[in-house]
Amino acid sequence: MEKTRLSFYDEIRKNKIYSVLLMGIVFVILILIGYAISFAFSPDYFFSILVLSIIISILYIWIGYYNSASIALASVGAKQANSSEHKMFYDLVEGLTLASGLPMPKLYIMKNEQINAFASGRNPENAVICVTTGALEKLSKQELEGVLSHELSHIANFDIRFMTLTAVLVGMIAIISEIFLRSLFYGSRSRDNDNKGNTIFLLIGIVLAILAPILVQLVQLAISRRREFVADASAVKFMRTPTGLIGALTKIKSNSEMKVSGAVAPLFLARPSHSLNLFETHPPLESRIEKLRRM
């Protein structure tokens, strides 16, 4: 029996809603851990930790956010593409930007025989797209266009900004948990140990402080996987056909794992995983291809 056809508009909307809901889970975890710490100690104590964690987290992430493109390009040794030597690369991106109304990103090439690509930059005006030499050599024109449409979709959907906000929240929770747990061992804070209510909330706070960083990291990875589905559906919206991206992802299935820094690995188009892994930044290739075939 033929499976129901999927609308790329519905897929984009649905996955964006899932992303926001997952972000809401991170907020809930932040509120719960704050609530438990406030009852175990005092609201002022949690407020002090919160302010400190916000400052540290935002400063750390802000530097990376404003330099995300240059950091990513430098880490993979990418070189700026030449418009005459890589004419098809330039022409395809130019055509897609004209059709989508996006500004022309800067184009780079990374020397690697595997098929892959990534986009980075804090906004469409400061975006870059980098493709591997393997992608330029092994993909057909339509397949390369599908890959570039996917990367432009990340730019159009402000995915770098969205994931940066997620990273700030995740970083805050990790810092709050670390400060709280360390304060239990090294702090000299006086508290009423006979107060049964405080003791219960203290135990809840300890459990949350241990589990929260793990839970929010899993949520962060789930958000990353959802943004990949959004970019796939948006690529179909740009090209009006899923054929090119399906062909590219099918060829990537035979890739060996690319040797790149773990910090930039989530930016790439795909990783050749074949089963759902909660600790992966990308959905299984089979799932992505199956969805695209139904659009």
- Name the phi and psi angles at 153, rounded to 5: -65, -40
How far apart, in whole angstroms, are the C-alpha atoms of residue 118 and residue 127? 11
Q: What's the burial of 231, exposed, middle or buried (CB within 10 Å: 0-12/13-18/19+)?
A: buried
pLDDT digits (tens, 9 = 90+) for 68-123: 788 888 888 999 999 889 999 999 999 999 988 899 999 999 999 989 999 988 88
Q: How far apart are CA 220 and CA 242, in angstroms?
A: 27
User: Is residue 294 predicted with pLDDT exceeding 80?
Assistant: yes
Chain-wide mean pLDDT for the chain? 82
- Look at the alpha carbons of 60, 63, 69, 73 in this order and tell me if their dihedral is positive or negative: negative
pTM: 0.80
Q: What angle do CA 160, 164, 170 make, to 5 degrees?
A: 145
- Give the residue with greater pLDDT, 48 vs 112: 112
Could you give phi then psi for residue 197, rounded to 5 degrees?
Answer: -60, -45
Q: Which of 47-51, 124-128, 163-167, 268-272 has the highest mean pLDDT?
A: 124-128
The contacts of residue 262 (CB under 8 Å, 6+ apart) are: none
The SS3 assignment for 68 reads helix
- The reported pLDDT for the residue numbered 95 is 94
Identity of the residue numbered 216: V
Catalytic residues, which ones? 151
pLDDT 10s digits, 172-231:
888 888 877 877 766 544 444 445 556 777 787 788 888 888 888 888 888 889 999 999
Query: Strand runs (DSSP E) across the chain, as ranges?
Result: 79-80, 106-110, 117-120, 128-132
% of the chain beyond a pLDDT of 70: 85
CA distance 5 to 32: 41
